[in-house]
């Protein structure tokens, strides 16, 4: 066995351990918050050496930041990536919202939406972890606004649509459904959010672009709260 092969093996084992750790830390943070993470706790729960976990992350703060980055990648894969082939317009925004509701309702993270949970935890704090959480939020809002603007440019939304206002309203509906479901165990909140989002999108869509808004999930993404996987 060459030195290069040994090195590659160690790197791969390190990557596997990193994935294992982050899979657990994302679930913990979605329930208990990022402050619930510690190198010692993770090592004990996963039966790893604390020194090995420390070698991968170095500090609690780096573990928290790595968890936010990992959650961002999972979120993108669940909510954004399935939309790659859809053309701009209200239908694409509708599919985006349904993907988000499915991501929350199907508990991709144990505590519902990871970013809703950690945003409440860090909203009044300062520091690198707050900044990472805030940036993830800003990026998400900007993505929704851009999807609406692209839909307007393509002729799917009325020309005077207020993209930031519409994005604010539909994100608020999604997050309200997440909060009510997690806190009260009320899955009907997702159907209520869907109906509210569909009404807002239809109100801002042009006459020829309303078809499909409020319809059951199609091939664009995972089944949502009113589908069989809810």
Q: pLDDT tens across 140-197, in order?
A: 999 999 999 999 999 999 999 999 999 999 999 999 999 999 999 999 999 999 999 9
Asked if the structure places residue 3 within a domain, the reply is no
Asked if the structure places residue 52 within a domain, the reply is no
* pLDDT higher at 6 or 23: 23
CATH classification at residue 103: 1.10.357.10
The percent of residues above 70 in pLDDT, for the chain, comes to 88
Q: In this structure, what token pair is assigned to residue 45?
A: 């729960």
Asked if the structure places residue 229 within a domain, the reply is no
Asked whether residue 226 carries a pLDDT value surpassing 80, the answer given is no
Looking at residue 10, its pLDDT comes to 67
Mean of all residue pLDDT scores within the chain? 89
Q: What is the pTM of this model?
A: 0.86
Closest CA to 143 of 99, 105, 104, 109: 99
Give 205's DSSP letter. Answer: B
Asked if the structure places residue 179 within a domain, the reply is yes
Asked if the structure places residue 226 within a domain, the reply is no
Number of domains present in the structure of the chain: 1
Q: pLDDT tens across 102-114, in order?
A: 999 999 999 999 9
Asked if the structure places residue 16 within a domain, the reply is no
Looking at residue 7, its pLDDT comes to 62
Asked if the structure places residue 70 within a domain, the reply is yes
């Amino acid at each position: 066995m060459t030195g290069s092969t040994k090195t590659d093996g160690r790197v791969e084992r390190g990557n596997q351990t990193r994935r294992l750790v982050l899979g657990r830390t994302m679930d913990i943070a979605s329930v208990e918050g990022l402050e619930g993470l510690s190198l010692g706790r993770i090592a004990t729960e996963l039966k790893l050496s604390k020194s090995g976990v420390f070698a991968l992350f170095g500090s609690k703060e780096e573990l928290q930041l790595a968890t936010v980055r990992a959650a961002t990648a999972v979120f993108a894969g669940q909510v954004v990536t399935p939309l790659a082939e859809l053309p701009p317009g209200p239908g694409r925004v509708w599919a985006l919202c349904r993907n988000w509701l499915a991501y929350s309702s199907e508990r991709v993270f144990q505590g519902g939406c990871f970013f809703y949970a950690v945003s409440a935890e860090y909203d009044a704090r300062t520091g690198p972890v707050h900044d990472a959480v805030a940036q993830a939020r800003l990026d998400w809002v900007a993505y929704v606004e851009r999807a609406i603007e692209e839909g307007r440019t393509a002729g799917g939304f009325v020309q005077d649509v207020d993209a930031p206002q519409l994005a604010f309203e539909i994100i608020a509906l999604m997050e309200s459904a997440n909060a009510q479901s997690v806190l009260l165990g009320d899955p009907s909140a997702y159907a209520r959010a869907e109906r509210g989002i569909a009404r807002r999108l239809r109100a801002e869509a042009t006459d020829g672009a309303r078809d499909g808004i409020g319809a059951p999930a199609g091939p664009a993404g995972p089944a949502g709260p009113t589908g069989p996987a809810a």
